[in-house]
A and B are shown apart, each in its own frame.
Chain A
Amino acid sequence: MITLEHAYVATGLMFAAFSILSLRDPLNPTRFRSALFWGLIAVSLLFGSWLGGLGNGLLVIALVVIGAMGKLGVGKPVTTTGEQRQAGAARWRNALFVPALMVPLVAVGGTLLAKYTPAGAWLISPVQTTLISLGLGCVVALVVAMVWFRPPVMAPVQEGRRLMDSIGWAALLPQMLASLGAVFLAADVGQVVGDLVAQVIPMTSAFLAVFAYCAGMALFTIIMGNAFAAFPVMTAAIGLPIVVHQFGGDPSIVCAIGMLAGFCGTLMTPMAANFNVVPANLLELPDRNAPLNGVIRAQLPTAAIMLVANMLLMYFLAFRF
């Protein structure tokens, strides 16, 4: 059976390859630091389960120190020129889309097979099925692309390193923020914030209560970068006791729309690194390191309108159905 651990091993080997190739790339201005950084991520993926809490904590500190010593350099892997790519586009035409589309199709297909067929359930572990299937899709698509287009053997690793270098240490942000969330949770930060919001906004009417709940969801999500972290806090502090129990809102409607109000916060914050910061790096935006980078600015108008819309929807629906 393919489990999450197998996906970690595959990803770890990939990072180990990035590390070795970075070390051997004299054109990367920070090749030793880059090699160490990708190498430590490889160690975490391959051996993390055996390192224990403190071991992993020290590994994180090492990664942070390497990342903080300055920008990670961008290597110069062997790749194709613009003309060669134009020629490739003319030669392969739509065949180029096939492996690209195979990744999501295998990811979705694998997930469905594992859920609904015995053979699929035997093949793919039920824990984190989608991620395992996604990893599987990447491997299958890679094999197909290698056979079809016959590039140099090292091309996938070199090209992968080219993209990974353009992301740089931002690759670590989602994982770091999730870990910060765990520490916040253990220190009961959520409860304190929830009580604070409840004190600041006097909830004397149903509308004010809806306003406080939705605004609190968005605000706490902006701080934490994750609506899932905000939801239990705000719903326990305001949503359930006040909007639902005191003013009689329907719990399904209040919670469904409250969660979506939190998603508006996700669209506004650099703390939601995997949605807002990683793509800015991936698309090589010049302002990728600014707190309000291009991606967040593109989302802001929609997010602000949707936050107001969610408040109105909750107010007009929750007390009626």
Chain B
Amino acid sequence: MLVLIGIAVVVVGFVARINPLVVILVAAITTGVLAAVGPGVDARALLTAGIDTISRFGEAFNDNRYFHITWLVLPVIGLLEHAGLQERARDLVTQVKAATAGRLMLIYLIVRQATSALGLTSLGGHPQMVRPLIAPMAEGAAETEHGPLTNKARFRIRSMAAGTDNIGLFFGEDIFIAIGSIVLIVGFLEQAGVRVEALHVSLWAIPTAVVALLVHGARLLMFDRQVRRDMAVPDVVEDAEAGR
């Protein structure tokens, strides 16, 4: 039960808004040390446990370096922004009269879910698609409809664009049989002595995928009304961070 204190550290740290990097490291060391606590364990053994935990953390950190490969896209995206990519995306959308922020994101949701279901998960993503294309396009469409956006409306649209990418990915990818989660399910069940077909597992992700499309799609169709309400909220003081 003592190891649960590590989880408590994470929750309290996040709620107290302490720097998450610190929270995570402290939680890891706490967990590792407390796991070693038991009858007849002296301070020296706990110190060893702490050092072992730091080593284990370092090893895992090294194994998980692959997250950083995604950042290789930043020079390309930055360069295209330098040449006017976001402006072009905005201009292109303003030419389509029927485009609204909600309808545009609905189309993106369908495309994202369908391509993820085919295993093409890297077609979307926040650095590659949302920041350079989807968010500016949705903002452009809303600007054509409502005029210059208030901060509240602008950040609402950006948040929804990021969320729509996640939702399309999560409720699409499991339909593809060779995705990590399906592999994990089949492997786990096999370890437990239950044999299932990967195809069978992935087929049963379809009902949830359909419901997700209906639920989030309906929210996106109602989204433009939300943006209109946000347009009624004037910008308070120019936020130093937002205006950067």
- Whether A183 contacts B56 in the complex (CB less than 8 A), given A135-B69, A282-B126, comes out as yes
Query: Is B224 interfacial (CB-CB < 8 Å)?
Result: no
Q: Contacts of A121 on B, CB cut-off 8 Å? A: none
- The interface-forming segment of B40-48, B96-104, B142-150, B211-219 is B211-219
Query: Is A218 interfacial (CB-CB < 8 Å)?
Result: no
- Whether A14 contacts B72 in the complex (CB less than 8 A), given A68-B21, A182-B60, comes out as yes
Query: Is A99 interfacial (CB-CB < 8 Å)?
Result: yes
Interface size for B (C-beta < 8 A) is: 118
- Whether A99 contacts B80 in the complex (CB less than 8 A), given A92-B88, A294-B158, comes out as yes
- Whether A306 contacts B171 in the complex (CB less than 8 A), given A60-B61, A96-B88, comes out as yes
CB distance from B192 to the nearest CB of A (A): 6
Question: CA separation between A11 and B65, bound complex, in Å?
Answer: 10
Please count the residue pairs between chain A and chain B whose beta carbons lie under 8 angstroms apart in the complex. 424
CB distance from A62 to the nearest CB of B (A): 11
- Whether A302 contacts B212 in the complex (CB less than 8 A), given A267-B167, A279-B130, A284-B244, comes out as yes
Query: Is B233 interfacial (CB-CB < 8 Å)?
Result: no
Q: Which of B1-50 contact A (CB under 8 A)?
A: 1, 3-4, 6-7, 10-11, 14-15, 17, 19-22, 24-25, 27-28, 31-32, 34-35
Most chain B CB within 10 A, of A58, A227, A302, is at A302
- Whether A85 contacts B83 in the complex (CB less than 8 A), given A7-B69, A45-B68, A142-B75, comes out as yes
Question: CA separation between A78 and B3, bound complex, in Å?
Answer: 49
Q: Contacts of B122 on A, CB cut-off 8 Å? A: 104, 107-108, 111, 130, 133-134
Q: Contacts of A45 on B, CB cut-off 8 Å? A: 65, 68
CB distance from A303 to the nearest CB of B (A): 8
CB distance from A169 to the nearest CB of B (A): 6
CB distance from A20 to the nearest CB of B (A): 15
Tell whether, in the assembled complex, residue A180 and residue B219 are in contact, meaning their CB atoms are under 8 Å apart: no
Tell whether, in the assembled complex, residue B59 and residue A53 are in contact, meaning their CB atoms are under 8 Å apart: yes
Interface size for A (C-beta < 8 A) is: 149
- Whether A60 contacts B58 in the complex (CB less than 8 A), given A162-B78, A175-B67, A260-B171, comes out as yes
Question: CA separation between A302 and B105, bound complex, in Å?
Answer: 14
Q: Contacts of B64 on A, CB cut-off 8 Å? A: 174-175, 178-179
Q: Contacts of A270 on B, CB cut-off 8 Å? A: 14, 20
The residue that A86 contacts in the complex, of B11, B66, B84, B208, with Cβ under 8 A, is B84
CB distance from A255 to the nearest CB of B (A): 5
CB distance from A174 to the nearest CB of B (A): 5
CB distance from B90 to the nearest CB of A (A): 8
CB distance from B135 to the nearest CB of A (A): 6
The residue that B58 contacts in the complex, of A57, A85, A155, with Cβ under 8 A, is A57
CB distance from B185 to the nearest CB of A (A): 5
Most chain A CB within 10 A, of B1, B131, B162, is at B162
Most chain A CB within 10 A, of B17, B60, B205, is at B60
Tell whether, in the assembled complex, residue B239 and residue A256 are in contact, meaning their CB atoms are under 8 Å apart: no
CB distance from B240 to the nearest CB of A (A): 9
The residue that B62 contacts in the complex, of A51, A163, A236, with Cβ under 8 A, is A51
Tell whether, in the assembled complex, residue A60 and residue B76 are in contact, meaning their CB atoms are under 8 Å apart: no
Tell whether, in the assembled complex, residue A306 and residue B11 are in contact, meaning their CB atoms are under 8 Å apart: no
CB distance from A213 to the nearest CB of B (A): 14
Question: CA separation between A292 and B74, bound complex, in Å?
Answer: 26
Q: Which of B192-215 contact A (CB under 8 A)?
A: 192, 194, 196-197, 200-202, 204-205, 207-208, 211-212, 215
Tell whether, in the assembled complex, residue B135 and residue A283 are in contact, meaning their CB atoms are under 8 Å apart: yes
Whose C-beta in chain A lies nearest to the C-beta of B131?
Answer: A282
Q: Contacts of A10 on B, CB cut-off 8 Å? A: 72
Question: CA separation between A180 and B27, bound complex, in Å?
Answer: 8
A 82-113 binary contact with B (CB < 8 Å = 1; else 0): 00111111111110110110011001100100
Residues on B lying within 8 angstroms of A by beta carbon are 1, 3-4, 6-7, 10-11, 14-15, 17, 19-22, 24-25, 27-28, 31-32, 34-35, 51, 53-89, 91-92, 120-133, 135, 151, 155-156, 158-163, 165-167, 170-171, 174, 180-181, 184-185, 188-189, 192, 194, 196-197, 200-202, 204-205, 207-208, 211-212, 215-216, 219, 239, 241-242, 244
